[in-house]
Amino acid sequence: MAVGIFDSGLGGLTVLDAAQRRLPDVEFLYFGDNARAPYGVRDAEDVFQLTNDAVHQMWARGCDLVILACNTASAAALRRMQEAGVPEGKRVLGVFVPLIEALTERQWGDNSPPREVATKHVALFATPATVASRAFQRELAFRAIGVDVEAQSCGGLVDAIEDGDMILAEALVKSHVDALLRKMPKPEAAILGCTHYPLMEEAFQAALGPDVTVFSQGNLVADSLADYLTRHPQMLGSGEGGYLTTGDASRVSTRATQFLRREITFQSA
């Protein structure tokens, strides 16, 4: 039995790690499309095709539930895949909704009309494709009114993280935060709207200062997955867990081990 976790590369490991801590008895199959990362500079059609292919492979390996632990894929592919209809007994879910429910102080599945919330000025850091999709703003507008969102597309950051160049990644965080603060000098909250960015969470918090609450997706998605599996225990799936990549398995294993500070061994997908 395994629950699938998909990302373009290493970023989804931040979600996987939180999910493994929250659900130690559940097996997970991680799939990183590292050979084709970053997705955030691709157009929506391309991201849809790549995501759709990967999720079908994970379903075929026995995962009944696949989490798109990738905001870029969630923005470009999730709705389209769900609308096209998924195979009987299979599900695909994204990572936006748990985050937006936390930001708007909602319980899971609270579909009441949008209302005023305490946080009024929100900085969104995401990939160029996620920012262009305006998917965060759309999901937020279903739940909250009067929230001002300023989005900063963080070009180059995913490549630097995938390459393990943390000095460049830190410099990029600083310059993207500076650019955001020029547009919105006093955000109350910052959303790390790409699952790679929690690997740089300390750098974001340092650049934003202590008064800004930084929201990242790991624990929020893990809690929401735990709740989902309690309500749908049959979605645990039948396949085996493990770590798959379309990239160079040894290189990806080294990076993953460095990021999660425990031994992770990827196999070729």
What residues act catalytically?
70, 194
Neighbours of 76 (CB within 10 A): 29
Q: List the one residue from 55, 70, 184, 221 that touches ligand DGL (CB under 6 A).
A: 70
Q: Which of 194, 212, 235, 256 binds ligand DGL (CB under 6 A)?
A: 194
In the complex, what is the shortest distance from the CB of residue 138 to ligand DGL, in angstroms, rounded to a whole number?
16
**Is residue 200 within the footprint of ligand DGL (CB under 6 A)?**
no
Q: Per rule CB under 6 A, is residue 66 in the interface with ligand DGL?
A: no
The β-bridge partners of 245 are: 32, 268
For 89-122, give one letter per residue: b (16+ CB within 10 A) or e: ebbbbbbbbbbbbbbbebeeeeeeeeeebebebb
Residue from 8, 34, 51, 133 binding ligand DGL (CB under 6 A): 8
Torsion of the alpha carbons at 11, 267, 34 and 99, rounded to the nearest 10: -20
Question: CB 88 → ligand DGL: shortest distance, Å?
Answer: 28
Residue 151: φ, ψ to 5°: -100, 135
Nearest Cα neighbor of 98 from 88, 86, 106 is 106
Q: Does 72 bind ligand DGL (CB under 6 A)?
A: yes
Do you know the residue count of the chain? 269
CB of 21 to ligand DGL, least distance (A): 19
Three-state DSSP class for 120?
Answer: coil
95 versus 144: smaller Cβ distance to ligand DGL = 95
Tally of CB atoms within 10 A around 267: 11
Alpha carbon 266 to its chain's center: 20
**Using CB under 6 A, which of 40, 198, 218, 241 touches ligand DGL?**
40
Residue 37 Cβ, how far from ligand DGL at the closest point, in Å?
4
Identify which of residues 127 and 239 has a Cβ nearer to ligand DGL in the complex: 127
Q: Candidates 34, 71, 216, 224: give the one binding ligand DGL (CB under 6 A).
A: 71
- For the bound state, the minimum distance from the C-beta of residue 112 to ligand DGL, rounded and expressed in Å, comes to 28
| Interface ranges with ligand DGL (CB under 6 A) | 7-9, 11, 37-40, 70-72, 127, 130, 158, 194-196
